Structure 1
Amino acid sequence: MSGETDLKALLAGLQPELDLAIYVFLTVDGEYGDHAGLQPLAAFREREGMTLIVPEDKAMARIEPGTPRFRRLTLTVHSSLEAVGLTAAVAGKLADHGISANVVAAYYHDHIFVGAADADRALQLLGDSWGAGPQ
């Protein structure tokens, strides 16, 4: 199954779920496997280095004071990677309320990383926005 592509159906079925964990973004040298001890949730290779999204408790030795902390909202609707407008709608809704959205699209779901202090408000906004309550 390739997932939903209809934007109205996607927005009606968002059903965002808030992960209890706190995450940080790190940049590291080397390969993904070199950092398995950090238990990264996700990795992305950029020209400047490897970006890892890591549970805060696994990264304490590598982060500096003031490093932003994030919580993950998972949009439980099964969205297609070819769907048009979902990322823009969600990021736009959060931006309208001063909340940054760092979006990671995976095969089945989109995951939005928001500042830890904004997470509960973001969950409420996305749950209320299009008629689907938060989980």
Structure 2
Amino acid sequence: MSGVTDLAELLATMEPALTEGSFVYASVPAADLAAHLARGPIGLFREEEGITLILPADAAEGLAASAPMRMLTLTVHSSLEAVGLTAAFATALTKAGISANVVAGYHHDHIFVPEIDAERALETLRDLSRTAREKGDA
């Protein structure tokens, strides 16, 4: 397994980046998945009730979907075996009163937050990283 596992290093070196555009979560029946792939989902997950798609908000026309969200990417290559990273950023966002939905990719963690909270979430995560760097200097 590749990627960083040390929590202190992950927090100190993560550089959260806000992705352009808005995204939504929508669910489609599994039997209809092929018809919806042209919408350009950036993620999907099979659940008992159907397939959850994460897709650009403007591609969700006609689907029941979540409110618009923004995606923040932690630009540190975190290992899927790392312990504590999700808890650390979830705690920081919780203290700031920001809802977060996390998707872990092979290379990075991606956090979907309400569109209205995106800039505040970005600053919260930058503060978390800054604090971790300062602790490392002590």
The offset of 1:114, in angstroms, is 0.3
Q: What is the match of residue 78 of structure 1?
A: 77
Map 1:49-68 → 2, pairs under 5 A: 49-63=50-64, 67-68=66-67
Structure 1 runs of 4+ aligned residues shifted over 6 Å read none
Deviations 1:14-40 (CA, angstroms, capped at 9, x unpaired):
100001210010000025433112110
The offset of 1:104, in angstroms, is 0.2
CA distance in 2, matches of 1:130, 1:76: 12
Q: What is the match of residue 45 of structure 1?
A: 46
Structure 1: where are the runs of 5+ without partners? none
Cα-Cα RMSD = 1.5
CA distance in 1, matches of 2:34, 2:84: 34
Map 1:1-135 → 2, pairs under 5 A: 2-30=2-30, 32-63=33-64, 67-131=66-130
Deviations 1:70-117 (CA, angstroms, capped at 9, x unpaired):
000000000000000000101110011110110000000000000000
SS of the aligned residue for 1:128 comes to helix
CA distance in 1, matches of 2:129, 2:16: 11
CA distance in 1, matches of 2:94, 2:10: 19
Structure with higher helix content: 2
Deviations 1:22-79 (CA, angstroms, capped at 9, x unpaired):
0010000025433112110000001111000010011122246xx4110000000000
Structure 2: where are the runs of 5+ without partners? 132-138
| Alignment-mate amino acid for residue 101 of structure 1 | A
SS of the aligned residue for 1:54 comes to strand
Give the structure-1-normalised TM-score. 0.91
Aligned length: 130
